[in-house]
Structure 1
Amino acid sequence: MSEAKQRNFWENDPEENESEKFAIPVEMTWEEAEKVAQETRSQINLRGWCLWRLRNLKGRKICLIRDYNVRNYPTEYPAFSLEELEMLPDDMPNTTLNLIIRAKILGDAIIESVEERNK
């Protein structure tokens, strides 16, 4: 049995590969997610921000920042503070996240609270 090819989420930028398509959602293992979380924490501790490409949202990029006191992050991408990220539910649909990102792009919005609606 051959080993599965390890994916490197940090060095191989799909934007540089013209054949890369974002039509197929990517499922990450818990181990892969933990590696991404560790690298994210490392980058945020080092420089205050980390750029993410959201493959399940057609490759859209967002910038995770420690907080809104960070000034040296790439402002051409919508920014999410770690506090905002913690407010978002784990089971939030991609369509809702896409709307939040659009609100941030169009209105420089900041998430102040997230209230769950009764179903």
Structure 2
Amino acid sequence: MNPQPYPLPGGGTGTELVIDQAAYHRQFAADVPAADAAVMAATQRPVATAALEEKTGEAAWKTIPSWALIATSDKNIPPAAERWMARRAGSHTTEVNASHAVAVSRPAEVTDVILDAARATR
């Protein structure tokens, strides 16, 4: 991760995290074809560190059903942490051998989880 400054509205500077383009394929999208990962690396939208530090309100998973897809080859969020969060939330869990870019590499499996959740909560 490469921290990069960016201007905040009204003044000041924030920090966003950018995945190094040379490491992007290996780190973020190992199961995506190299050419696609290169495009993803060049067009990535960094995450503002503030988004990782902000306090949230009441967690929705405490009162409504939840679904989780565990990407077992994720190098950004450890699968053990994903499993822990899913268990804590009582989520209906699906595991897929995929990288963090699971929505790109395994779109059918992601769609299935979304459709299962939609059908179950009608």
Which TM-score applies when normalising by structure 2? Answer: 0.28
> Larger relative contact order (C-alpha < 8 A, sep ≥ 6)?
2
Structure showing the higher strand proportion among its residues: 2
Which protein has the bigger helix share? 2
Instruction: Specify the structure having the higher radius of gyration (Cα).
Output: 2
